[in-house]
Structure 1
Amino acid sequence: MDNDALRLRSHRFFPDERVTAEVLNASADAERERRWLHNKLLHGYGISFGLEVERGDRDTSVLIGRGHAIDLDGRDLVVDQAQSVQVPPVPSGEFDLVCEWSDDTRETSTSSCGASGETVRREIPRLKFVLPGSSGAAVVLATITVSGCKLSALVFDARRPLVSTPVPYVDGGRFFPRPGDWSVLTLQGKAVGLRIEIPTVSANFFGTVSYSARVMGNRWKGQGQTPAWKHVLCLDEYVIRSGPKSFELGVVILADDMTSPPFTPVSLESFAVNESVGVAAIPDTLGWTVAWMGVEGTQ
């Protein structure tokens, strides 16, 4: 979907305006993209009905029935008649059968004055086989196994029904920072903690995401350990800013001097100096990673 689809617009016309083909086409495209956005945000993606798949004659093809689906970009996939697709002519292999959006079928006409141009774009989806994991925005209908140049297995584990009611989408992961990924978090010119950018591209979030995160790893090392530490680190994690592709995590750190009870808070700079380590290098020294989770309102 074009990013411009997110900028909802309605074309208006005034008396005696010269309405060109370009203006009318832009108006039609705006409504089409609005429908795609509606489908994507409110309905998700998958098969709404039909599109059954079965073995074809002599196991050299598959038969796909009529039906409807919505792809990852919110585009309608309408198969209005049953079709047959040949099994890939290879000795062996595994393939996904997908339904892929296309408007490549075009029609043209000629005006009374001899001008000609495109008048219709037919949204006729393609039914084809692709390698597993390369379906893109298309909807997977079935997975086949080819053996001896013929269909040997037909399974539907990757087939996805359309969810009628949007539900929260949740994903998460573990981020392993590299040296230099952490930077110092300051308040009024003083170091109070650390900050880091956490990528979440793998989750494929689209809209507003609520993140939570926790630093995983050592918090302290006491006397008698090697190397000897005399401090405890108390952490408070919070999200500074967030988006669908990443979020920035802030970690406020309170360092306590454990030389003698009661615990005596010391500044983060003092802690770093006492332990001969830079503030931004503390996570590397303690082996910190970040476990995170994101919740998006709809699919």
Structure 2
Amino acid sequence: MQPLSDPGTLERPLFFDGQQLYAEDLQGLEAHHRALRWLHNRSLHQPGVGNGLAVSGRRGEREVRIQPGYALDAAGRELLLGEPLTEPVPPVAGEPDGSPAYFDLTLCYPSDDDLEETETRDGVCAPRGAVRLRERPVLCWARLRPDTSGALRPVDDAQRLALEEGRVIALARAGILDCRLSADLSATLRRTARPTERPRIVCGTGPVDWKEWHAVAGDDDSALLGLRAEVSTGARGFRATPCYTARVDGRRPLVFPGEKDEPDVVLLDGPAYVQDATPGQFQCHVPLLVYAGALAGLPDELIPNARRQWQVTWYAIEE
């Protein structure tokens, strides 16, 4: 049963003397309390490690060791590891250029198909069935590669989204060379399930998808003011809309050759500012000014060049 966003939709099971009970009645009672517990967890905590789950691995080793511990995912589900585990490192030689291949060791809540049946019983006039399941979390290595900004991101889009949304918890990062750890494991990427003390200050930087910014949205004939981009901050887990500040980093000025005997066009960008801010994103607007030459519209090369050379650096303060 998935956790419900509205506890008012829950139905509390009741029983009466003489009622004939079925397995689904008792399972419904357990699901009711589990849904309320998950709602409590995600209302008061954030996805991350609650305690334990220490991961160790030294340079040159072929396996890593995970200690018992407890974590929560974005749905409020408990990831409880009750005994130490040993996990082999991915059997890869490295990247084609000879550098280490990087992986994140992640932990996620198991699906029903992944649960181990630890006890079964014969039914009365019914086939044998499971009466106990072991909810051991699932360990998985996520392959990483650098994006356009040089930051390491999961190659698989589904894994990247699950990590950003907190459905999967990252425990450690490993570099692999010749099927061995190229360095000691790094745990700097771990997040705690305990909410941080406010005010909270967070920063970020990265490439964005620049688009034309017109005076009237959606009107191609309106005045062209500059560039705009949507910046996602959902992975930072803000509970309320923070106070964002943004700037644009990249090559300046933007110079485009003029046609025939006309002078080159030089574009200067004005101060970036934030609009339409929410806890998970904001719009970054950048005005463009013509310093020299004549300009009827944006050069065709501007948008591709801006997407390639300009990135947004921002910081946010959550009260």
The two structures share one fold, judged by TM-score above 0.5: yes
Question: Could you tell me which of 115, 120, 129 is aligned with 1:105?
Answer: 115
> Any idea what the Cα deviations from partners look like across 1:79-120, whole Å, max 9, x if unmatched?
211111112122222222222321421435442121555544
Question: Could you tell me which of 182, 196, 203 is aligned with 1:152?
Answer: 182
Q: CA deviation at 1:182?
A: 4.4
Residues 28 and 170 from structure 1, CA distance in 2 versus in 1: closer, same or farther, beyond 3 angstroms? farther
Task: Tell me the SS of whatever aligns to 1:131.
Answer: strand
Please give the alpha-carbon distance, in whole angstroms, between the structure 1 residues aligned to 2:191 and 2:142. 20
Q: Is the 8 A contact 1:204 1:244 kept in 2?
A: no
Q: Aligned letter for 1:100?
A: C
Give the match for residue 221 of structure 2: none
Q: Is the 8 A contact 2:246 2:312 kept in 1?
A: yes
Q: CA deviation at 1:153?
A: 1.3
Q: Is the 8 A contact 2:63 2:89 kept in 1?
A: yes
Residues 37 and 242 from structure 1, CA distance in 2 versus in 1: closer, same or farther, beyond 3 angstroms? farther
Q: Is the 8 A contact 1:142 1:158 kept in 2?
A: yes
Q: CA deviation at 1:131?
A: 1.3
Please give the alpha-carbon distance, in whole angstroms, between the structure 1 residues aligned to 2:64 and 2:204. 37
Task: Tell me the SS of whatever aligns to 2:184.
Answer: strand
Give the match for residue 280 of structure 1: none
Which shifted more, 72-81 or 10-19? 10-19
Residues 154 and 24 from structure 1, CA distance in 2 versus in 1: closer, same or farther, beyond 3 angstroms? same
Task: Tell me the SS of whatever aligns to 2:106.
Answer: strand
Please give the alpha-carbon distance, in whole angstroms, between the structure 2 residues aligned to 1:28 and 1:175. 45
Please give the alpha-carbon distance, in whole angstroms, between the structure 1 residues aligned to 2:143 and 2:80. 23
Give the match for residue 55 of structure 1: 57
Give the match for residue 36 of structure 2: 34
Q: CA deviation at 1:243?
A: 4.4
Please give the alpha-carbon distance, in whole angstroms, between the structure 1 residues aligned to 2:216 and 2:131. 59
Q: CA deviation at 1:124?
A: 0.4
Please give the alpha-carbon distance, in whole angstroms, between the structure 2 residues aligned to 1:150 and 1:291. 36
The equivalences for 1:69-148 within 5 A come to 69-92=71-94, 93-103=101-111, 104-107=114-117, 109-115=121-127, 117=129, 119-132=131-144, 133-134=153-154, 136=163, 137-148=167-178
The equivalences for 1:221-260 within 5 A come to 243-246=278-281
Task: Tell me the SS of whatever aligns to 1:89.
Answer: coil
Q: Is the 8 A contact 2:48 2:73 kept in 1?
A: yes
Q: Aligned letter for 1:148?
A: D
Q: Is the 8 A contact 2:62 2:89 kept in 1?
A: yes
Q: CA deviation at 1:121?
A: 4.0
Residues 183 and 24 from structure 1, CA distance in 2 versus in 1: closer, same or farther, beyond 3 angstroms? farther
Please give the alpha-carbon distance, in whole angstroms, between the structure 2 residues aligned to 1:290 and 1:160. 24
Question: Could you tell me which of 194, 202, 209 is aligned with 2:241?
Answer: 209
Q: How many residues align?
A: 249
Question: Could you tell me which of 211, 235, 249 is aligned with 1:178?
Answer: 211
Give the match for residue 12 of structure 1: 12
Please give the alpha-carbon distance, in whole angstroms, between the structure 2 residues aligned to 1:105 and 1:99. 15
Q: Is the 8 A contact 1:98 1:139 kept in 2?
A: yes
Q: Aligned letter for 2:108?
A: E
Task: Tell me the SS of whatever aligns to 1:143.
Answer: strand
Please give the alpha-carbon distance, in whole angstroms, between the structure 2 residues aligned to 1:57 and 1:293. 35
Residues 175 and 142 from structure 1, CA distance in 2 versus in 1: closer, same or farther, beyond 3 angstroms? closer
TM-score for the superposition, normalised by structure 1: 0.58
Please give the alpha-carbon distance, in whole angstroms, between the structure 1 residues aligned to 2:52 and 2:312. 43
TM-score for the superposition, normalised by structure 2: 0.55
Q: Whose radius of gyration is greater, 1 or 2? A: 1
Give the match for residue 306 of structure 2: none
- Aligned CA RMSD, in angstroms, stands at 5.0
Q: Which runs of 5+ in 1 are unaligned?
A: 186-193, 217-236, 251-276, 278-288
Q: CA deviation at 1:64?
A: 1.8
Q: Is the 8 A contact 1:5 1:33 kept in 2?
A: yes
Residues 291 and 26 from structure 1, CA distance in 2 versus in 1: closer, same or farther, beyond 3 angstroms? farther
